Amino acid sequence: MSETKKSDVTVPAQASAPVSEREVLLKVEGLQKHFPIRKGLLQRQVAAVKAVDGIDFEVRKGETLGVVGESGCGKSTMGRVITRLQDPTGGTIHFEGKDITRLNTAGMRPLRRDIQMIFQDPYGSLNPRHTIGSIVSAPFRLQGVEPEGGVKKEVQRLLELVGLSPEHYNRYPHEFSGGQRQRIGIARALALKPKLVVADEPVSALDVSIQAQVVNLMDDLQQELGLTYVIIAHDLSVVRHVSDRIAVMYLGKIVELADRASLYESPMHPYTKALMSAVPVPDPKRRGAKSERILLRGDVPSPIAPPSGCRFHTRCWKATEICKTTEPPLLQLRPGQQVACHHPENFEDQAPQDTVLLTAAKAAAELVADEVLAESAETSAAVKAAVAETAEAAETAEAEEPAGAEAEEATDEPEATDKKG
Ligand SMILES: Nc1ncnc2c1ncn2[C@@H]1O[C@H](COP(=O)(O)OP(=O)(O)OP(=O)(O)O)[C@@H](O)[C@H]1O
Ligand code: SF4
Ligand SMILES: [Mg+2]
């Protein structure tokens, strides 16, 4: 991605320092967001969806924190709470050292300039009845800001900055492709020169070919404008190249938080390992290496009643009794790598006395060597080809000699079955 970065831009001083030495922009401690479930005439609370259930992290100036996890693990909720679009249930949020956890709308207004969000859906997040000019200039109107040179000139500059034409000012969202719409969303988010941008799956609705363009654009803008990003994605391939650090979420918790190199080179949480093994290896040197894929069995449990102890124990192939009874704390096991696991990968066991696997653990995941997957893909391709051939032969035979068709089909069938075995 670095090849697309511009060399003639002034990089802010913060951005040139190593990430770990930069000032903390956002600090989140014990953050919780529970959605109450109410029932009956009196609308009594009977349970709660624990979408975010006690997470801690910080984001430093100029860095990109990637947040990944399966659907429903609480990523978007976390994004909406840290930007204070939703109120947290518990915990604290500090922005530039200031506690913003309980600020009301009026208190948050000045901070709206500094904290912006890019939304998951470029189709639903732009009002179809408004022109691009009106959409991108909305933040100026809402904040009562008059940019130098006037609103129209500034909006046209922003459109150019994100790779669109100033002439698009009077056009409507339906005239644009998904990738262009996401550029419009980015222009709107950047209008007030924010310090922190939280991007919720900014490319997941786009074609794969367009995804890289939008991610590259965000990366370039970060260099030019000294932005700090929290980028949410549901798999590791999107955040892989742009993140300085990555947080892996599972059922409302952060299970691993590490710098990019550590996470990719030696993931420590079994769930990270499983997510990772779903990502194709782009490094040609590693592509030929023997590897295993971990196929997780079972659905993600409900966030209304998450499993006891370690929430991953119902799907983890390493789960023991302690995993079921005791929640593992998120500990720094290596410099720059925090993990919440009793039996981490690539590290000494945190609960060596507990070695008996839970019965469910044995069936929780399947370790499949890549060659086996490739072989089975080849086999099924061969089977499909054989079946197609058989069907074709049968059709031809039927057309040529209707009486003998049944017998021929019967002799062809075992051939296809043989190949399967
Ligand atoms: N307003 C709400 N009221 C009740 N439950 C909610 C609300 N918003 C989210 N949830 C629930 O909270 C959990 C986390 O949802 P969230 O949208 O944050 O997940 P996500 O990780 O962003 O998923 P996805 O990858 O599908 O976008 C889900 O179980 C969801 O149903
Ligand atoms: S080994 Fe235990 S603590 Fe670690 S992820 Fe598996 S279930 Fe959780
Ligand atoms: Mg989401």
- pLDDT the model gives residue 298: 74
CATH top-level class for 2-260?
alpha beta
Per-residue confidence (pLDDT) for residue 386, from 0 to 100: 45
Closest CA to 288 of 383, 195, 374, 163: 374
Q: What is the per-residue pLDDT across 382-414, written as a single tens digit (0 to 9) for each?
A: 434 443 454 454 444 444 443 333 333 333 333
Between 16 and 255, where is the model more confident? 255
Neighbours of ion ligand 3 (CB under 5 A): 76
State the ligand closest to the CA atom of 364.
2
Reported as a single tens digit per residue, the pLDDT across 128-156 is 999 999 999 999 999 899 999 999 999 99
Return the ligand number nearest the Cα of 273.
2
Q: Looking at residue 235, what is its pLDDT?
A: 79
Q: Report the C-alpha gap between 273 and 268 in whole angstroms.
A: 7
Predicted pLDDT at 296: 80
In angstroms, the CA 373 to CA 364 distance is: 18
Closest ligand 2 atom, residue 313 Cα: 7
Structure-block tokens of residue 128? 């179809």
pLDDT top residue among 1 and 216: 216
**For residue range 2-14, what is the model confidence (pLDDT) as tens digits?**
333 333 444 455 5
Angle between helices 405-420 and 370-400 (to 10 degrees): 170
pTM, to two decimals? 0.83
Break the chain into its structural domains and give their ranges.
Answer: 2-260, 378-420
CA 209, CA 206: separation in Å to the nearest integer? Answer: 8
Kindly write down the DSSP assignment for every residue of 203-248, as one continuous string.
TTTS-HHHHHHHHHHHHHHHHHHT-EEEEEESSHHHHTTT-SEEEE
Residue 199: enclosing H or E segment and its boundaries? strand 196-200
325 alpha carbon, closest ligand: 2
Type of residue at 234: H
Residue 33 gets which letter from DSSP?
E
Q: How far is the CA of 232 from the centre of ligand 3 (A)?
A: 8
Q: Candidates 297, 327, 341, 349: which one to mutate for ligand 2, based on the most atoms within 8 Å of Cβ?
A: 341
Closest atom of ligand 2 to 255 CA is 5
* pLDDT-wise least confident of 103-117, 139-153, 322-336, 349-363: 349-363
Predicted pLDDT of residue 64: 96
What pLDDT score was predicted for residue 369? 58
Three-state SS sequence of 112-178:
HCCEEEECCCCCCCCCCCCCHHHHHHHHHHHHCCCCCCCHHHHHHHHHHHCCCCHHHHHCCHHHCCH
User: Does ligand 1 lie within 6 Å of residue 248's CB atom?
Assistant: no
Mutate to test the pocket of ligand 2, among 269, 320, 343, 346 (most ligand atoms within 8 A of CB): 343
Mean pLDDT (whole number) for 168-186: 94
Ligand 2 atom index nearest CA of 361: 7
